[in-house]
Structure 1
Amino acid sequence: MLRTSLSLLRRHPALPRVLSARLHTHHPRLSGGSNPPMDFPCIDKLETRQRDLLSGPEPTYDKIVTGYQTYTHPSFTCDHGGQLTKMRIAYETWGQLNAQKSNGILIHTGLSGSSHARSHELNKSPGWWEKFIGPGLAIDTNKFFVICTNVIGGCYGSTGPSSLDESGARYATTFPLLTVNDMVRAQFHLMDHLGIHKLHASVGASMGGMQSLCAAALHSERVGRLVSISACARSHPYSIALRFAQRQALMADPNFNRGHYYDGVQPHVGMKLARSIATVTYRSGPEWELRFGRRRQKPDQPPALCPDFLIETYLDHQSERFCLQYDANSLLYVSKAMDMFDISHSVTQRLERQRAEKQRACTSVCMDASEQPASEEGHSGVETGDEIMADLVRGVRNAMQPTLVLGVQSDILFPVRQQKEIADILRRAGNTRVTYYELDAMYGHDTFLIDVVNVGAAIKGHLENSD
């Protein structure tokens, strides 16, 4: 039914406008009464965008970011059992790898980040961490060889839902579920390809901070230092709820088509709503009080139901700019991986067993007594706070690297108590070289992108310290 409707709309691009006109003509509240109807320029704008999408080419996400290199791994088994053949990972590098191949720093991205962290000859556009990476900067390319990847599941060059599968069709929602651990294992396949046995440091913020902690804990022999900014040791209910709301808004878009939208209209309205929700969590109330207050865009005109306050116009602009620059399915898969993140020993062990079982193409009867699921290892099913903490401590027991944990007091997405939890479990595990900083910045979660002076100084000091 949906494909029939899409075909009809392609043949008649003016149909949405006709239907809208008919709706306005025949709606009982618009045909009489003493009050004039409200104007909805925001809906008019969405309808115009819809018509443009019906007649225009589909977005090609891996062309939005250019100048990256790729590494292809022949076969990759995901933690939840899914398979990727010829897994591709996109990456960019800055600086020079030394003869010992010991000066590598792996930069992990946030949810929608690309490998383009800094400009270079093949792509001179500013990167998302442009002011942090470079000669003499926080991550000094005169000293370090810096690598940044687009995570698997993404849409900027690495294998993700918008990629072609072995049959030549888009994966869409046949793409396997991912974990943050999967993303990190894929990155270490790239490190093998580059000949880097041990990194000088693993550095990341937000979801990147999850990856950096995962790398240090699960591949400890290959990570010399750890930097985790505005992240967590396990996703907490509040952030899970926020990402759930984003996914629900996206999937409610009538063009979503259970993820099989690549030959039709992109679910841009759902993506716009999802991004609006996300943007609310990325910044802070105090910053918006200062920037926008209660000011309206047109204070001399009556209030409107479309964007009216300056904060509303800001959210509308930010979400509109994003909604066709990132693949909707990638948002679903990568955000779900964030929700499932938990560095606890029992969780990581269960995932490793699942993946090993899939690789052996073995059924559950092949497991011996030492390989039973975590739920069968004596847990009562109801964990106390002490049991949860003990499980987290066991999960990071190998992460003994010099560590910097950085939190921001105004961060509502990853509150500082979650940064304290990371520092606490590392110290309880025996790591005596944990440095914890808490910034009193007003930029909320996005502080790691904005506060070059304080965040940059903390990173630079940690990476260059001789300890």
Structure 2
Amino acid sequence: MVPAASSFAPIFSRKFAPGACKKSVQVPQNHLPQYLSFPLVPRNAQAAQVAQQEQLESSNPALSFPCLDAVESRSASLSRRSLSGPEPSYTTGHHLNFHSQQPILLDWGGVLPEFDVAYEAWGTLSEEKDNAILLHTGLSASSHAHSTEANPQPGWWEKFIGPGKPLDTDKYFVICTNVIGGCYGSTGPSSIDPANGERYATRFPILTMEDMVRAQFRLLDNLGIEKLYASVGSSMGGMQSLAAGVLFPDRVSRVVSISGCARSHPYSIAMRHTQRQVLMMDPNWARGFYYGRVPPHGGMKLAREIATVTYRSGPEWEQRFGRRRADPSRPPALCPDFLIETYLDHAGEKFCLEYDPNSLLYVSKAMDLFDLGQEHRNRISTVRQENSGKLQAFVDGKGIAGDASSDSCSLTLPDLPYEEKEQPAAVEADAASVPDPTEPPADLVAGLKPLANTPALVLGVASDILFPAWQQREIANTLKRAGNERVTHIELDEEKSLFGHDTFLLDLENVGGAVKKFLEQ
């Protein structure tokens, strides 16, 4: 059963008046939402009752909804299990851990008084410590990129790492971290705030890609690695790899960015916004304070299904699924019916308890905020300077500087929604006034100037709809315009790869081969 909206009124109505947005929410830790005490009647039983009662009144029997039954059964089981502790634990097995006791100032003014970075490593660090490769992850990945003796489960880049592989462990010392904001060992919303002993939840500060990279370089400092042989990443990792080169140009010898971008564009922002909205609309999300209760697994499932649509390509799905139904002998249903629907349903169901919902919100928002343009970098530099006193206060052991109430969120929704406006009639222009699509924006050129002397591999995939190939062309063209004469740009056409955005996970020959060749140059 879905609780009425009024069920949450006693908790939230006073805290979130129209036009107000408080930084913290007071949620009683021992309070369970009212709906957890309601008897959960499976929807198929309800449908049977309705059908029996209205047998003489209806022309057709009521439809069954096994997909909703499954969600409600999951909620019922999690309701019982939540009484014994948080559900689930969000872990992928053994990993190494770096704990920083020094606070870190985040780009938008938040401060983590201390933090953990979970990491794993493969290969041997040379005596000169000059063969280290930092491998950046995608949005929901852990540090487990490859199996280890302590954790023999295959990693997310298992075939790409090892002796003779693209990331050759006979040559390189490969390090992969779980980003801060994540939930696989690094400090994130599900972590304990040392200030009050409670989980951060949505009291966790807003993050950026650059914040994640700075935390990674704290780890490198701890390992005594002054300069990386290479910074390598795909998807969100491709964004981080570029950010590492821009933030620390003297500490990064090479950059590999696969299926990434130099700044987030409207389509990917829109898709991630939609995922966050369906997650936040799940009543179990409870504005982020669901730990120890029923997690918003329904919203997470839907969010993952939306994401999965963007990870693969139409041509691949045409070949794999076509218009085939899961069971053509049965009548059509409103629940998953076509093979493609069952595939998405399985992808969402598998993921919904494997990743912390709040981490999905924070990390995906960090992706949206990514922009290496000079104007944005200047603005963030100003904000960091204005907030430097907060960091010093933590260093001095004084905690939060100033009046915490002054940091209350001032974000409000617009009074009027966006409306399409009629465009003026097109004006004929000569060829000289038409922008050259191959000419990158001057602002982005200025922002990537720190990479002018860093060899870079930029790889894109024609079938990728989440990070379209033109975004990788934009990176390559911008780097060249910034003065970089050692840019290798590769674009895989659809004949070489139909896997869309997920090509970086699957194509060992073309993606792995390009990485291996570039690193050996």
Instruction: Return the TM-score normalized by structure 1.
Output: 0.90
CA distance in structure 2 between the partners assigned to 1:278 and 1:135 by the alignment: 33
- Read off the aligned partner of 2:41 and give its amino acid letter: R
1:49 aligns with 2:74: yes
Write the letter of the residue equivalent to 1:442.
L
**TM-aligned CA distance change 1:92 to 1:249, over 3 Å:** same
- For residues 349-377 of structure 1, the C-alpha deviation after alignment (integer angstroms, 9 at most, x for no partner) is 221221232122499xxxxxxxxxxxxxx
Q: Note the 1:163-242 alignment, pairs <5 A.
A: 163-166=191-194, 167-242=196-271
How far apart, CA to CA, are the structure 1 residues paired with 2:54 and 2:165? 60
- Structure 1 residue 33 corresponds to structure 2 residue 58: yes
1:392-427 residue CA offsets vs partner (Å, 9 max, x unmatched): 111110102111000000000000000000001100
* 1:113-132 correspondence to structure 2 within 5 Å: 113-132=141-160
Which residue identity lines up with residue 290 of structure 1 in the other structure?
A: Q
1:67-94 CA distance string (max 9 Å, x none): 3333324211100000111111111110
- Following superposition of structure 1 onto structure 2, how do residues 363-382 of structure 1 map, counting pairs within 5 Å? none
Q: Is the 8 A contact 2:42 2:72 kept in 1?
A: no
Is this contact kept in 1: 2:284–2:295, CA < 8 A? yes
Q: Which residue of 2 aligns with 1:443?
A: 499
For residue 397 of structure 2, what is the aligned residue in structure 1?
none
Match for residue 153 of structure 1 among 159, 165, 181: 181
SS of match in other structure, 2:68:
helix
The residue number in structure 1 matching 2:326 is: 297
1:247 to 276, 287, 302: 276
Code of the residue aligned with 2:40 in structure 1: it is: P
C-alpha distance in 2 between matches for 1:346 and 1:232: 17
Question: Do structure 1's residue 393 and structure 2's residue 440 form an aligned pair?
Answer: no
The equivalent of 1:135 in structure 2 is 163
Report the Cα distance in structure 2 between the residues aligned to 1:21 and 1:232, rounded to whole angstroms.
Answer: 50
- Cα 1:403–1:388 change in 2 (3 A) is closer
Tell me whether 1:69 sits opposite 2:103 in the alignment. Answer: no
- The amino acid of 1:52's aligned partner reads S
The sequence identity of aligned pairs, in percent, is: 58
Given that 1:70 and 1:157 are in contact with CA atoms closer than 8 Å, whether structure 2 keeps it comes out as: no
| Secondary structure of 1:289's aligned partner | helix
2:487 aligned to which of 429, 434, 438: 434
Match of 2:461 among 408, 430, 453: 408
Query: In structure 1, which of residues 10, 16, 36 is the aligned counterpart of residue 40 of structure 2?
Result: 16
Question: Which residue identity lines up with residue 210 of structure 1 in the other structure?
Answer: M
Which residue is 1:106 aligned to? 134
- CA–CA distance in structure 2, aligned partners of residues 9 and 253 of structure 1: 13
The reply on whether 1:355 has 2:384 as its aligned counterpart is: yes
2:3 maps to which residue? Answer: none
Kept after mapping to 2: 8 A contact 1:61/1:155: no
Q: Which residue of 2 aligns with 1:344?
A: 373
What is the distance in 1 between the residues matched to 2:87 and 2:380? 34
Letter of the 2:321 partner, please give it: F
Q: Does 1:271 align with 2:300?
A: yes
1:79 is aligned to 2:107: yes
Pairing of 1:281-296 with structure 2 (within 5 A): 281-296=310-325
User: Does 2:469 align with 1:423?
Assistant: no
Q: Partner residue of 2:508?
A: 452
Instruction: Give the SS at the match of 2:174.
Output: strand
The answer (yes or no) to whether the contact 1:132–1:452 under 8 Å persists in 2 is: yes
Name the structure 1 match of 2:118: 90
| Residue type at the aligned position of 1:424 | N
- Indicate the residue corresponding to 1:381 in structure 2: none
- Per-residue deviation at 1:62? 4.4
1:46 maps to amino acid: V
Supply the AA of the counterpart residue of 1:101: K
* Separation of aligned partners in 2, 1:20 and 1:308: 17
Secondary structure of the residue that 1:106 maps to in structure 2?
strand
Task: Give the secondary-structure state (helix, strand or coil) at the position aligned to 1:146.
Answer: strand
Query: In structure 1, how many angstroms separate the alpha carbons of the residues matched to 2:310 and 2:111?
Result: 33
- Count of residues in correspondence between the two structures: 443
| TM-aligned CA deviation for residue 11 of structure 1 | 5.0
Normalised by the size of structure 2, how large is the TM-score? 0.81
What secondary structure is seen at the aligned counterpart in 2 of 1:436? strand
Deviation sequence 1:405-460 (CA, Å, 0-9, x none):
00000000000000000001100000000000001210000000000111011000
Q: What is the distance in 1 between the residues matched to 2:377 and 2:89?
A: 32
Structure 2 vs 1, CA of residues 155 and 385 (structure 1 numbering), >3 Å: closer, same or farther? Answer: farther
8 A contact 1:344–1:395 mirrored in 2? yes
TM-superposed CA distance for 1:19, in Å, is: 8.3
Q: Which residue identity is paired with 2:332?
A: P
Q: Distance in 2 between matches of 1:242 and 1:52?
A: 31
The CA distance in 2 between the partners of 1:212 and 1:49, in whole Å, is 39
CA distance in 2, matches of 1:39, 1:209: 44
Comparing 96-105 with 20-29, greater Cα deviation is found at 20-29
Alpha-carbon shift at residue 345 of structure 1 (Å): 1.2
Equivalent residue number for residue 367 of structure 1: none
CA distance in 1, matches of 2:466, 2:276: 16
Distance 2:146 2:130 in 1: 21
Q: Deviations over 1:215-263 (max 9, x none)?
A: 1112110000000000101100011000010000101101111111113
From 296, 300, 325, the counterpart of 2:354: 325
Q: Distance in 2 between matches of 1:357 and 1:271?
A: 36
Unaligned runs of 5+ in 1: 364-383
Moved more, 30-39 or 401-410: 30-39
State the Cα deviation string for residues 312-371 of structure 1 (Å, max 9, x = none): 0000001100001000000000000000100011211221221232122499xxxxxxxx
Q: Which residue of 1 aligns with 2:425?
A: none
Change (3 A) 1:218 1:312: same
